[in-house]
Structure 1
Amino acid sequence: MKKQLIFTIALFLCSLVANASDIQLKFNKKGQFKIAQFTDLHWIHGSPNSIETAETIKHVLETEKPDVAILSGDVVWKDSVKEGWLTVAKIFEEAKTPWAITLGNHDSEDDLTRDGVFEFLEGMPYYIGEKGEELTGCGNYSLPILSSQSSKIAAVLYCVDSNDYPADQKLGHYDWIHFDQIDWYRKTSDKYTAQNNGKPLPSLAFFHIPLPEYKEIIGKDTTHGAKNEEGVSSPVVNSGFFCSLMEKGDVMGTFVGHDHDNNYIGILHDIALAYGRVTGADAYGDFERGARIITMYEGKNQFDTWIRTKSGTELLYYYPSGISAQEEASAQYMPAIKTNPKKQGVAYTYYEGRIKSTDRIASLTPLKTGIINNISLAPASAQDSFAFEFKTLIKISERGMYRFYTHSDDGSKLFINGKLVVDNDGSHNARRREGKIALEAGYHELKVLYFEDYMGESLEVGISSRSILEIPIPDNMLYVPEK
């Protein structure tokens, strides 16, 4: 009797430990937080392929040891859905890994509704997903991540239902994130921002169906990974969710599934748009099954992400730089120059005359020279038909790949140690051009040529890297070249 009582008490205590209400997501002592995104399990209870899917999930959990797992839709389908969910839940319970879900278009096609899935999973060990508010779809909720040093919220994960199919077939094959969901996100984001003294918290968003904006990053040099699908299976209707993400300024990246043969990631307007890696062996697709891993860094708008499979890791990618580890490894790094400047600033030469290309600046007569704090058009005496040559030394604190941009009206070019990095030349309205270069730590010569033809003069020069969120180059990185 005494042994039975002890056993009963032990079981009760174990259930308390695994209860969702007792699980807190928290940055570790190193200020890191790791997420495993599993997507498109397409779990069919009793299928031999489900054994392979389970082995893939277990391998990822054992090798990566994530702080949380997010299952981003199309998890369990076809026959014996409840048994399938129980089996999937058991994998995370045995691994003692907190897990949450967003729903896909196939998750309500059988004997469980979207509400029913969340009601069925509620209370399961290590499950921390929520049904959320009464909105379109089901499972619109946020998961706060606490600071490593306190109980203060330091970051947020948003889980959003991208729904399934529109009622009107004329509106396309796939549904979209609706206005009431967007309103919920905006209000929730505002709440977290207010709690953080008005500063948006670094956040990520997970849902199933990709946004229409996923089409816009294809072919960009910040986009890495494979696009093997014929297209992007996004909604035809663009409800503006991406615009709200931009406006609120908290979400660094969105992570979806749905298109099994796409696994690319890229950046649009400072937001990463990423596919996961298909996980289920019963799902279509040629990729080796696995998961996308994301590591967030406390207090920083920064994350690293890669694909984990049984074969190892691939496609390591750094946000906010949009640079991949493969690029860094294969790049030829430009050495720093030997110099020790004493004064911060930028040397400029000012010209006037009507030209149509920066190449013609050398034909103009210099009118004045000087030193200013940063690259600026402030010394210009004319409103039109003038030009500048800016020369400075940029201090690079750590070896790595760096992305530079110019946003100018009219033409501009940016050179590092004499090498053309950004070509934004020609007579044109305000526009942006960018380029990247691998640099050793130390000082490098930076030169910018600029001309204004007619109306709308403007120039901004910026930088980003693995550790620098894109900004105009700050004054404290620029030094006056030694004569």
Structure 2
Amino acid sequence: MRWWRGLAAAGAMLAALAAAAGLRPTAKERGGYPSAADAYSRPPLRFGSGGLFKVALFADLHYGENAWTDWGPAQDAGSDRVMAAVLDAEKPDFVVYLGDLVTANNLPIPNASLYWDRAVSAARGRGVPWAAVFGNHDDMPFEWPPEWFSPDGVPPLRCPPTSMSASGVDQGCSFRGTPRIDLITTEISKNRLSYSSNGPKDLWPGVSNYVLQVLSRSHGDPALLMYFLDSGGGSYTEVLSSAQVKWFQSQSQFLNPNGRIPELIFWHIPSTAYVKVAPKANSEIKKPCVGSINKENVAPQAAEWGMMVALAKRPSVKAVFVGHNHGLDWCCPYEKMWLCFSRHTGYGGYGNWPKGARIIQITESPFSTVSWIRMENGTKHSDVTLSS
């Protein structure tokens, strides 16, 4: 891996190579939108002094629902409490927001970034860096409630103090959504702790497609690669495209040609492979699967265009993590990797199951990955070894 150290020393050369490979496209290549790298100079992620790197997954927060009622804001306050409890108990090195941070189809304002900002404030307020991927609700068009067409009519809007767009234009308060690119551009341009990126433009309408490296605690070589992918939904079909498969293959070959660096994968909507390994809905979760709730059928992507085949061909891929199904929190083996759900973190969205978050702890040497669920009430369960 000394070749990488040499590239790191030649910063300009590395930037050019990475841009050419699609790892970190320039603002011009993305159509002028800034990435985290454009906005600020972020320090590299690195394993801690004990050789550990701990990640908390916050899935399906669904901020902003029914803001015109008392119920909606109370749900958001509940989500604040869950994340605070998990962060204070686990003290992770990194947070992954695993999609559906907001429920855009239920947001009565033109700037969902205001609610998105509240979602990431839990990590930001504790100085914990994070990255995000999009879910199917994050830019879904606003859905007018049928009861608003009754004699009572449309209720008065409760707008946030400002309704500025990402471009800085005051758009007033009206019923329409916020595009993916506005959400992520606002996040990464205003937060030094954000490691999110809007990814290569040729993967659009998918936006949150990028790779993060975690460096060794003792030298400058990458010791872990984390791939983030936009699984669609909302403004377009729920799917990982063939173009994303080719992008992943290109990135993994460029960054990890010999497969020596362990790789973890994050997206929102489960692939059809999850259906194949899923325990029967409402049945007991039995080994080799590990989890605590199994209350619904897997709701997979609309199609499979080769991503799972590409992942299965790489022994370096240890696990895939998704959200989307609020009533599932299991991990099951598939091929030589694990397929895991997070835990429904937010009080928004469907389901009244107790809230929590999946925790992932990676040990650099000897490499291992373990995971568990940390609940809002402080309890811990569903420990599983994903690689050793």
TM-score past 0.5 threshold: yes
* 2:242 equivalent among 179, 202, 218: 179
* 1:291 equivalent among 357, 367, 374: 357
Report which of the two has the higher share of strand: 1
Residue 259 (structure 1) shift? 0.5
Residue 122 (structure 1) shift? 1.8
Other-structure match for 2:222: 153
3-state secondary structure, aligned to 1:63: helix
Residue 165 (structure 1) shift? 5.8
| 1:374-453 → structure 2 map (5 Å cutoff) | none
Residue 285 (structure 1) shift? 1.7
Residues 295-341 of structure 1: CA distance to partner in whole angstroms, max 9, x if unpaired?
01114552110011122111111123xxxxxxxxxxxxxxxxxxxxx
Q: Name the CA shift for 1:243/1:200 in 2 (closer, same or farther; >3 Å).
A: farther
Structure 1 length-normalised TM: 0.58
Asked whether 1:94 is paired with 2:101, we answer: no
* 2:263 equivalent among 180, 197, 203: 203
CA distance in structure 1 between the partners assigned to 2:350 and 2:270 by the alignment? 17
Is the CA contact 1:189–1:248 (under 8 Å) kept in the aligned structure 2? no
Is the CA contact 1:200–1:248 (under 8 Å) kept in the aligned structure 2? no
| 1:457-468 → structure 2 map (5 Å cutoff) | 467=388
Residue 248 (structure 1) shift? 2.5
Asked whether 1:224 is paired with 2:284, we answer: no
3-state secondary structure, aligned to 1:224: coil
Other-structure match for 1:140: 209
Is the CA contact 1:36–1:70 (under 8 Å) kept in the aligned structure 2? yes
| 1:22-101 → structure 2 map (5 Å cutoff) | 22-44=42-64, 47-77=73-103, 78-80=107-109, 81-101=112-132
- Name the amino acid aligned to 2:98: S
Q: How many equivalent pairs are there? A: 294
Residue 166 (structure 1) shift? 8.9
Residues 93-119 of structure 1: CA distance to partner in whole angstroms, max 9, x if unpaired?
211010110000011125211112111
Q: Name the CA shift for 1:261/1:28 in 2 (closer, same or farther; >3 Å).
A: same
* 2:194 equivalent among 113, 127, 132: 127
CA distance in structure 2 between the partners assigned to 1:104 and 1:115 by the alignment? 13
Residues 238-294 of structure 1: CA distance to partner in whole angstroms, max 9, x if unpaired?
212111011132220010000000111011111100000011112212321111000
Other-structure match for 1:215: 275
Asked whether 1:164 is paired with 2:233, we answer: yes
Q: Name the CA shift for 1:262/1:20 in 2 (closer, same or farther; >3 Å).
A: farther
Q: Aligned residues: percent identity?
A: 27
- Name the amino acid aligned to 2:132: I
Residue 215 (structure 1) shift? 1.6
Residues 114-139 of structure 1: CA distance to partner in whole angstroms, max 9, x if unpaired?
11211111221311101111113101
3-state secondary structure, aligned to 2:45: coil
Is the CA contact 2:359–2:374 (under 8 Å) kept in the aligned structure 1? yes
Q: Name the CA shift for 1:175/1:203 in 2 (closer, same or farther; >3 Å).
A: same
Is the CA contact 1:20–1:127 (under 8 Å) kept in the aligned structure 2? no
Residues 405-427 of structure 1: CA distance to partner in whole angstroms, max 9, x if unpaired?
xxxxxxxxxxxxxxxxxxxxxxx
Residue 29 (structure 1) shift? 1.6
Greater radius of gyration (CA): 1
Report which of the two has the higher share of helix: 2
Is the CA contact 2:82–2:355 (under 8 Å) kept in the aligned structure 1? yes
CA RMSD of aligned residues (A): 1.9
Residue 92 (structure 1) shift? 1.9
Residue 221 (structure 1) shift? 2.6
Structure 2 length-normalised TM: 0.72
- Name the amino acid aligned to 1:269: E
Larger RCO (CA within 8 A; separation ≥ 6): 2
* 2:139 equivalent among 108, 113, 125: 108
- Name the amino acid aligned to 1:176: V
Can you give the 5+ residue segments of structure 1 that lack an aligned partner in the other structure? 1-18, 168-173, 321-466, 468-483
